[in-house]
Structure 1
Amino acid sequence: MTTQSSPETRADQPVLTVPEGPRHARIHGVGGYRPERVVTNEEVCTWIDSSDEWITQRSGIKERRFAREDETVIDMAEAAARDAIAMAGITPDQISVILMATVTHPYQTPAAAPLLAIRLGTNGPAAFDISAACAGYCYGISLANDMVRAGSAEYVLVVGVEKLSDFTDKHDRGTAFIFGDGAGAAVVGPSDFPGIGPTIWGSDGDNWDKIMQKESWTGLRGDMTDPAGGAVEWPNFAMQGQSVFRWAVYSIAPIVDKALAAAGLTAAQLDAFIPHQANMRITDAMIKHIGLPENVPVARDIAETGNTSAASVPLATARMLNEGEAPHGGLALQFGFGAGLVYAAQVVVLP
């Protein structure tokens, strides 16, 4: 029998040269974008048989933002990204990688990230989309942290953006009031101190049907219009609300405990809690679960933005910093969870 020597035992084996990255990474800047149009519960109730009181009690949502018909995920992502880049104090050509977390870019290819790279005037960075729905931004922060620390990127732009109004069935009483549009972004780069804690993430594919696209893309072509120039009906999202609520409150709430433990912190040491803006009652249940002190600010943007999926965590982060609700340089626990079903949590130092 012929045997081959492994690379470790071959004296003549060339040694690969690999980049050496910094020991740590952190978020240097964040930005957010909310479309101009405000859609109130009263307007939603012209589409479905409901009331402002019922919607508020069930979800905590009072209003949401809808993008213009001609406003794309790339338009919104660009606005958020430029704010994040400005806060980070870098130029677009310093960005090595763009990660775009979205499930509402209406094309499977090309991805949205390379198109954003062109808009921003970057110098041909690696660019790709992440399809992890509401956990997509937290997934992106974890990947960016690893890229910077490994030396494969200097600065990574992470964007969470959704135009969920295009994928919402306005006559579905169970989902018509939930979703909104928006974008949030962060720039991750080298640091001389730990700025991003270990990510606790995972998936529960057995429950894939709890949040899903009702129809496939079969038959949709080109610019999503029919030959006569009329709009094609886009696929809509469906959700089993009670099942998702139970999953979030009882099955994955312990993930926040693990993220805190992995970072070597307690809830009392946090300066902010920024969970995915899915439902106010889910947020309240998580606060109770981790025993969060009353003085720690909590993101409750869902009241004004609705559920913006991948955009919700960075959008809330940018607002809390801009309004002084959360301190610059403070410790924030961020947690994304949703369709897949997928989840990710990590503690970060706010820029």
Structure 2
Amino acid sequence: MMIEDIGILGMGMWHGPAVPHAQAPPTASGRAVDDPWSGTFDRDGTFRLLGLTLPAARYPRTLAAARRATRAPFRGAVRRRVLPADVPVSAAEAEAADEALRHAGTPTGRIGALLVQSTVPDSPYPTNAALLGHRLGLRATATWALDGACAGPIAHLTTAPSLIRAGVAEYVLCVQSCAFSRVNDPGVSAFLGLGDMAVAFVVGHKPGARIVTAWSADGSSHSATATAARKQGAGPERDGHAAQWRLRLTFDHTLQPAVLKTLGRRLRVVTASVLAGARWSVKDVALFVPQQSAAWVPAYLSEELDIPDGALFHTYDDYANVGPVDIAVSWYRALSEGRVHDGTRVLAATGGAGFVYAAAAVRW
């Protein structure tokens, strides 16, 4: 279903300090990193990675990005953001939200709903939604934690118009964050390409704006990417539970190949659905914003989905993989750089841990 005359009015982000790869060691622990994501190249240029085979003739931009990534300390990123240890995630979320409200010209008192996805919140439970509302001074506001994994921005953009149409809110503030550095294991390959970020946007009535979204899900590979609790040290135990635990991001390399091999096919399905709903052809797409789970993935998805040359836009070089903030931080940068303005046709597509697959066709 097409949502008409509701759209994004303003955006903001957390402007944390950049950490160039020259200023940080490849691993915090000094241990060698097990990196099955580096891939290999055949003599004819074919790229092979975890069961995925990409011929050079079909995927030239993907292979060029993959070659650059194999020589870079952060798997192709030039720099990334790391949340300082003394800064709560909710503070970064509040900074992004404040900027989004300013850019939208929307007073805090007119926000009727707050949707928050804190991938690594200040506490596992309760998560950050109400705390962020408190930081922003929101009181009589529907305040929800809404998690769409790496499709979080699309989940929020799907839900916010419904709240507006139902009369729950005139304006909806949507916030997504990740603090991967706080659950990242420096001994695994993901450490090299994960960053921290928070982005926010305000949704409200906007004449001429259009939104179409589509979704699918497959939980059979749920544990391919997960967060597990690990015991730290040999502290005392009580009632059979260890006294000290730490959450760690984990990757199951027996399941990851299946996820990777089906990513393109699954995103073709949801992308075809939103293009049909928006009554666009792929040639109408002015800007394509995909997930950026690795340096070569944006190029791969643009070639897999036959996106027109010049339409691809991503921010992996500056932020690395920021998971559920990938899409929104690229929207923010595209706006800041003048790549997006009212009327621009923007396509977004992503697969998210769990696994969910989503696409959005947005006439800005």
- Structure 2 length-normalised TM: 0.78
Report the secondary structure of 1:160's partner residue.
Answer: strand
Long gaps (5+) in structure 1: 1-21, 219-230
Counterpart AA for 1:286: L
Q: Where in structure 2 are the equivalents of 1:70-149 lying within 5 Å?
A: 70-149=86-165
Cross-structure match for 2:248 = 236
Which residue is 1:29 aligned to?
10
Residue 334 in structure 1 maps to residue 348 in structure 2:
yes
Seen in structure 2, the aligned counterparts of structure 1 residues 115 and 80 have a Cα distance that, compared at 3 Å, is: same
The percent identity for this pair of structures is 25
Higher-Rg member (1/2): 1
Give the letter aligned to residue 208 of structure 1. Answer: H
**Alpha-carbon deviations, 1:100-129, whole Å to 9, x = none?**
122211424333111111111224311111
Match of 1:43 in 2: 24
Q: Which residues in structure 2 correspond to 1:117-196 (within 5 Å)?
A: 117-172=133-188, 174-196=189-211
Is the Cα–Cα contact under 8 Å of residues 184 and 313 in structure 1 kept in the other structure? no
* 23 and 260 in structure 1: CA distance in 2 versus 1, 3 angstrom threshold: closer
Distance 2:132 2:351 in 1: 25
1:208 and 2:222 are equivalent in the alignment: yes
Task: Verify the 8 A CA contact 1:275 1:336 in the aligned structure 2.
Answer: yes
Opposite residue 175 of structure 2, the aligned amino acid is V
1:34/1:181 contact within 8 Å kept:
no
- The change in CA–CA distance for 1:41 and 1:128 in structure 2 (over 3 A counts) is farther
Partner of 2:286: 271
Are 1:196 and 1:348, in contact at CA under 8 Å, matched by a contact in 2? yes
Cα RMSD of the aligned pairs, angstroms, is 2.8
For 2:182 and 2:273, locate their aligned partners in 1 and report how far apart those are by CA, in whole Å. Answer: 36
Matching residue's letter, 1:245: L
Which one has the bigger strand percentage?
2
1:62–1:303 contact (8 Å) kept in structure 2: yes
Unaligned runs of 5+ in 2: 39-67, 233-242
Q: Structure 1: how far apart are the matches of 2:8 and 2:345?
A: 12
Distance 1:48 1:133, change over 3 A: farther
Q: How many angstroms does 1:256 deviate by?
A: 1.7
Matches of 2:257 and 2:72, distance apart in 1: 16
User: 1:321 is aligned with what amino acid?
Assistant: L
CA-to-partner distance for each residue in 1:157-215, whole Å, 9 max, x for gaps? Answer: 1111111100100122x211121101111111123334322x10121111101111132
Equivalent residue, structure 2, for 1:64: 80
Q: What is the CA distance between 1:57 and its match in structure 2? A: 9.8
Contact 1:257 1:290 in 2 (8 A): no
Closer, same or farther in 2 for the Cα pair 1:69/1:273, shift >3 Å? same
What is the CA-CA distance between 1:148 and the residue it aligns to? 1.2
Cα distance change on mapping 1:30 and 1:161 into 2, 3 Å = same
Distance in 2 between the 1:23 and 1:299 partners? Answer: 25
Residues 29-66 of structure 1 deviation map (CA, whole Å, 9 limit, x = unaligned) = 11122421415177342445369963649953333210
What amino acid is the match of 2:267? I
Larger displacement relative to structure 2 (72-81 or 59-68): 59-68
Could you tell me how far apart the structure 2 residues matched to 1:216 and 1:152 are?
Answer: 41
Per-residue Cα deviation, 1:66-87 (whole angstroms, up to 9, x for no partner): 0100112211111111111111
Is 1:291 paired with 2:306?
yes
Counterparts in 2 of 1:41 and 1:278: CA distance versus 1, 3 Å:
farther
Distance 1:288 1:329 in 2: 25
Deviation at 1:271? 2.1
> Aligned equivalents of 1:179 and 1:271: distance in 2?
28
Cα distance in 1, alignment partners of residues 18 and 209 from structure 2 = 39
Q: TM-score w.r.t. structure 1 length?
A: 0.81
SS in 1 for 2:194: coil
* Structure 2 counterpart of 1:237, one-letter code: L
CA distance in 2, matches of 1:117, 1:303: 32
Shift of 1:96: 0.6
Q: 1:310 to 1:89 in 2, by over 3 A?
A: same
How many residues align? The count is 315
Letter in 2 for 1:77: E
Match of 1:347? 361
Q: Could you list the runs of 4 or more consecutive aligned residues of structure 1 that deviate by over 6 angstroms after TM superposition?
A: none
Change (3 A) 1:170 1:233: farther
